Structure 1
Amino acid sequence: MKINTLSGRFLLLTTVFVVLGEVLILVPAITNYRHDYLETRLERAQIASLALLTTDQMIEPELEQELLNNAGVYNVVLRRDSARQLVLSSPIPKPIADTFDLREISFPESVRDTLSELFSTEDDIIRVVGQPVQQGGQVIEVTLATAPMRVQMLEYGLRMLILSALVSVATAVLLFWAVRRLMVVPIKRVVAHMTAYADAPEDARLIIEPEAGIEELRVAEEALASMQRQLTAAFKQRERLAQLGQAVARISHDLRNILTTAQLLADRMEESDDPRVKRAAPKLINSISRAVNLCETTLAFGKAEEPPPTLSRFMLAGLVQDVLEGERMAAKAGLVDFVTDVAPNLSIRADREQLYRVISNLARNARQAIESTGTPGTIEIGAGEEPEGWWIRVQDSGPGLPERARENLFRPFAGSVRKGGTGLGLAIAAELVRGHGGRLDLVRSDAEGTEFRIHLPGDTILAAPGSEPEKPFS
């Protein structure tokens, strides 16, 4: 098992915490054992002293030594009736090293003394003071050797260590099994689904079905399933777009050839002597030219690319008039009123044909929105300069965009309002504006109407290499 896996790290952390828990349990246990050991020696010494007191302190030396050996002490001092009396005694092999009063010692001090005794290698003699049991006096004192106590403390500690180690190992194994069952296995399942889905993201059968019992893992599975469904839908849409792009490219190619022939015929119409034909011919030629240009750019769009804009200076008012003139011809009589707010001398730097497509698309959408209500409305196109460049406003008094359209604005095949619409118009318009280094924003859309605003930069990065960018001017 590798240490950098979730199971390996959990096992390592379990081992560390188990060892820490054993230390926290073992030290207090040995401390309590030492305290009980000393209390037992005091009780045994008190019992031995009572045997002497019942004989009026007349006892054989051999019997006295046997009582001391059974109690595990060298001397017993008992204070009764305010008199301190050496009840039992035997020779002490060395001076007393320390005194411990069990009546006043605190637990931290007891822990300190226990650890000091465990790590000591000397066989010291200590005095232990305590309270006699059953009101057998005021104070009892004994002297004893530390070596036997240390041996019993070590034996007890070893037994406790073995027992706790067995319990800890069993606990660690159960925890390890539980973690693998409840966490590692579900995580591996999620990883397996992710790997299989990555190999074939268009296959909806590979989308994970959330089934984890743990809430956090189930939330992760639900989020993964949602993401996979969105990706699968996106892949399907991409495939449909690719097929549609191929179809549009073929249609545009054939349509361009047809329009080229129509353009040649329209050129000959200019030679007609009929005044009405002469007036209509330039407009017809311009419309056919735009249609041919649209076919060519559609072919480029089918290749997932839009040609870079060809920047030039021109008066915006003339372009806006061309757009509105076309929309007036297409509008239903008496329903749409067109208003312009563009200074005649406002000159901008942009691709004229691409900007025409953008403004024409916005104006067409506004006209269709007003006509769909059957109520008269107004379309206004305004423009002006700003420190960063130019702005162009296209607003209407129509019904406003529905919420679905606002959420999917500028997304192909998702932001259409009209039944049967594709939603490509705004997507292409936004792409054309971005190609100029600008942006197309929806300022507002409510019951009072809709307003779009185009921002075009003045210092454009699309200028020819090595040339100074032109500044906007009026």
Structure 2
Amino acid sequence: MLKSLSGRFLILTIAFVMLAEVLIFVPSIARYREDFLLARIERAQLASLALLADGSVDPDLEEELLQNAGVYNVVLRRDEARQLVLSSPIPMPVTKTYDLRMATPAELLNDAVMTLLETEPTVIRVIGYPTQRAGMLIEVTIPSQPLRDSMIQYGLRILVLSAVISVITAALLFLAVRYFIVTPMKRVVHQMARYANAPEDARNIIVPSNNVTELREAEEALKALETELTNALRQKERLAQLGGAVARVSHDLRNILTSAQLFADRLETVDDPTVARMAPKLVRSISRAVTLTESTLAFGKAEEPPPSLSRVSLADVVNDVLDSERLAIGDADISLSADVPAGCMIRADSEQLHRVLTNLVRNARQAIAASGKGGEIGILFTDEDACWRILVRDTGPGLPMKAREHLFKPFSGSSRRGGTGLGLAISAELLRGHGGTLKLLESTSEGTAFEIWLPKGDAEVSL
């Protein structure tokens, strides 16, 4: 029980309540001592009234009055005259005198502690004001032992009462902590264990229900974490399924494309000028498709093959991309342009760079076509000291906010209905393999711009 939160809270509550009672004990016992002495003064004053009334008192009656008052003698000061009103033999000399008329709280506390620590019986003198203004002061001599015994009994009663209050308070707090804190925490722990058994099941995600602010915030944070993890597991499962599907399709598709490549090679021998001009492009496209089917499987396994870096003519890659896209544009009012020096050589994997540029230009073309309006797509090259920058800009309608939030996440960043959202994710991964980056510079209703950044390293650009 001591290892549980509620058990430790119970022990601490009892300890703190007892500590509070101890701090209250000394002032309480000091107050009790003061009341005890004032009561003795009052009773002594009442006993002295008989003498003040008759002028003389029988010795037996005087002794009885003193015993009832619990004092040895009574001295009353009236009209500047100090008078011994009642007296009896004192068994021992007076050891201490306490003046209650001007006593400070600190003095009362100190005198109370000293009285409890005093073990030997003594005789003390107590000075105070008479009640009802019956004189200037009254002085009594009393034994100290009855005072000490009475203070000890009072203190024991306080301690017993404090213990009872501590136990009751601790029990009530124990039950409250169990109900408001421990039980909800156990419920959260139980839910976490249930979720851990089947994290892919969205029904196991916690539903915040606690009314305590802190626990409610913890439940909401746990819900967000579980939701994100479940979505990540689902995406991972989809990627695994994609990898399996690609693995089955890749083999047959590669064989079909290989056959098509063989037929395309024959077209180069045809004398028709149009066929001769288009045949090399067709051969390159089919070769690129074969390479893509072989490498797509790697993405299904959540990895891309490392780039084969070499000196590449950027102008040739860009022109090849634009030529392919012009065939897809048809009669649409979309213009393509490039501002790339003819002799620009950069260090990159030509096939992977071609895929990146194709994804960006194709996305822009599809966005402009879907808007029903014309537009422009341009590729701009900039040579900087430490890197090469390639800017792909269009005048399309811009990306929706949801697509921008998950732009480079597979299955999440598509802006087209029916799109997979893989194009930009694949492009970003390919450029990371180059040590470069792909980022969205801007996307408004007037157009979108993507920036490709490729590091130079030790390479030199040649123009």
| Equivalent pair of 1:389/1:472 in contact (CA under 8 Å) | no
**1:92-139 per-position Cα deviation (integer Å, ceiling 9, x unaligned):** 444433332222222233222222222333434332221111121111
Deviates more, 1:37-46 or 1:110-119: 110-119
**1:350-375 per-position Cα deviation (integer Å, ceiling 9, x unaligned):** 22211111111011111111111222
Which residue of structure 2 lines up, in the alignment, with residue 159 of structure 1? Answer: 157
* SS of residue in 1 equivalent to 2:148: helix
Q: How far apart, CA to CA, are the structure 1 residues paired with 2:370 and 2:118?
A: 99
What is the count of residue pairs matched by the alignment? 462
Q: How far apart, CA to CA, are the structure 2 residues paired with 1:432 and 1:27?
A: 79
Q: Does 1:277 align with 2:275?
A: yes
* SS of residue in 2 equivalent to 1:421: coil
Deviates more, 1:107-116 or 1:32-41: 107-116
TM-aligned CA deviation for residue 446 of structure 1: 0.6
Distance change >3 Å, CA 317–CA 100, structure 1 → 2? farther
Distance change >3 Å, CA 131–CA 388, structure 1 → 2? farther
Residue in structure 1 matching 2:438, options 434, 437, 440: 440
Residue in structure 1 matching 2:196, options 187, 195, 198: 198
Q: Does 1:288 align with 2:299?
A: no
Q: Does 1:139 align with 2:111?
A: no
Residue in structure 1 matching 2:341, options 329, 343, 346: 343
Q: How far apart, CA to CA, are the structure 1 residues paired with 2:431 and 2:387?
A: 13
Q: How far apart, CA to CA, are the structure 1 residues paired with 2:238 and 2:53?
A: 111
**1:62-98 per-position Cα deviation (integer Å, ceiling 9, x unaligned):** 4333322222222321111121222223344444333
Residue in structure 2 matching 1:365, options 363, 374, 395: 363
Distance change >3 Å, CA 380–CA 94, structure 1 → 2? farther
Q: How far apart, CA to CA, are the structure 2 residues paired with 1:120 and 1:394?
A: 97
Which residue of structure 2 lines up, in the alignment, with residue 329 of structure 1? Answer: 327
Residues 10-409 of structure 1: pairs in structure 2 closer than 5 A? 10-56=9-55, 58-333=56-331, 335-409=333-407
Deviates more, 1:226-235 or 1:147-156: 226-235
| Equivalent pair of 2:13/2:166 in contact (CA under 8 Å) | no
Deviates more, 1:260-269 or 1:424-433: 260-269
Deviates more, 1:340-349 or 1:43-52: 340-349
Q: How far apart, CA to CA, are the structure 2 residues paired with 1:128 and 1:440?
A: 95
Distance change >3 Å, CA 355–CA 159, structure 1 → 2? same
Q: Counterpart amino acid of 1:165?
A: A
Distance change >3 Å, CA 104–CA 343, structure 1 → 2? farther
Q: How far apart, CA to CA, are the structure 2 residues paired with 1:404 and 1:210?
A: 26
TM-score, normalised to structure 1's length? 0.92
| Equivalent pair of 2:128/2:137 in contact (CA under 8 Å) | yes
* SS of residue in 2 equivalent to 1:77: strand
Residues 448-459 of structure 1: pairs in structure 2 closer than 5 A? 448-459=446-457
TM-aligned CA deviation for residue 471 of structure 1: 4.1
Distance change >3 Å, CA 120–CA 343, structure 1 → 2? farther
Which residue of structure 2 lines up, in the alignment, with residue 428 of structure 1? Answer: 426
Q: Counterpart amino acid of 1:113?
A: D
* SS of residue in 2 equivalent to 1:416: coil
* SS of residue in 2 equivalent to 1:54: helix
TM-score, normalised to structure 2's length? 0.94
Q: How far apart, CA to CA, are the structure 1 residues paired with 2:117 and 2:439?
A: 79
Distance change >3 Å, CA 117–CA 473, structure 1 → 2? farther
Please, which runs of 5 or more residues in structure 2 have no aligned partner? none
| Equivalent pair of 1:410/1:426 in contact (CA under 8 Å) | yes
Deviates more, 1:354-363 or 1:138-147: 138-147
Q: How far apart, CA to CA, are the structure 2 residues paired with 1:107 and 1:376?
A: 94
TM-aligned CA deviation for residue 192 of structure 1: 0.6
Q: How far apart, CA to CA, are the structure 1 residues paired with 2:145 and 2:16?
A: 33
Q: How far apart, CA to CA, are the structure 2 residues paired with 1:168 and 1:88?
A: 47
Deviates more, 1:13-22 or 1:123-132: 123-132
TM-aligned CA deviation for residue 426 of structure 1: 0.8
Q: How far apart, CA to CA, are the structure 2 residues paired with 1:194 and 1:346?
A: 58
Q: Counterpart amino acid of 1:29?
A: S
Please, which runs of 5 or more residues in structure 1 have no aligned partner? 460-469
Q: How far apart, CA to CA, are the structure 2 residues paired with 1:169 and 1:15?
A: 6
